[in-house]
């Protein structure tokens, strides 16, 4: 059963991520021509309107549009189902995991909306340093990255006390 607190987090964080993602993508599409770029910070950051037909870093971009549509729809539904399962199982007291899963949920839905609407994902945040160029990404991708990072931090670095059994009768 979902607690009211968890639903508030999912609505505010996940829903907020979706709204911010879609608004920024629409603004970029209205203000830029495809492949147009505007330097924001010289030799570091540009706004560049591109469309990614593939997965992260352009994976599957060379596959047919029909294959990509079916593949990404199935993968998205599977991923969202798994995320929702973990979200329901997470204790409301585990706030950082609830936040992380809400970010992942919102990011996944944000990119899924693009795939359904356009058949590809709008990316526009373009970071680079010298010859090193990070692939362009968007708000949904950022939420997914932050969510995964937060879950990994919880898993590997936060030490949680493990309750021990009462051993009184075993002395």
| Active-site residue set | 123, 141
**Cα–Cα distance between 21 and 88 in angstroms, integer?**
24
Q: Report whether 140 contacts 107 (CB < 8 A).
A: yes
Backbone φ and ψ of 36, nearest 5°: -75, 145
Structure tokens given for 148: 């995964």
User: How distant, in Å, are the alpha carbons of 50, 108, 160 from that of 139?
Assistant: 14, 11, 31
Structure tokens given for 107: 């990011």
- Residue written as token pair 């964080």: 13
**Cα–Cα distance between 17 and 112 in angstroms, integer?**
13
How many Cα atoms within 13 Å fall on the side-chain side of residue 94? 19
């Amino acid at each position: 059963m979902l607690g009211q607190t968890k639903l508030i987090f999912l609505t505010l964080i996940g829903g907020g991520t979706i709204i911010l993602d879609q608004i920024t993508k629409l603004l970029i599409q209205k203000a830029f021509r495809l492949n147009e770029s505007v330097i924001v910070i010289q030799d570091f950051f540009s706004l560049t309107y591109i469309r990614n037909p593939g997965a992260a870093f352009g994976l599957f971009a060379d596959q047919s549009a029909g294959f990509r549509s079916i593949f990404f729809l199935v993968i998205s539904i599977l991923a969202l189902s798994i995320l929702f399962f973990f979200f329901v199982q997470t204790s409301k007291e585990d706030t950082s995991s609830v936040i992380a899963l809400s970010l992942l949920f919102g990011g996944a839905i944000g990119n899924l909306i693009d795939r359904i609407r356009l058949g590809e994902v709008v990316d526009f945040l373009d970071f680079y340093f010298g010859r090193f160029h990070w692939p362009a990404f968007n708000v949904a991708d950022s939420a997914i990255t932050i969510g995964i990072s937060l879950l990994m931090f919880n898993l590997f670095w936060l030490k949680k006390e493990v309750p021990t059994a009462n051993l009184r009768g075993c002395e």
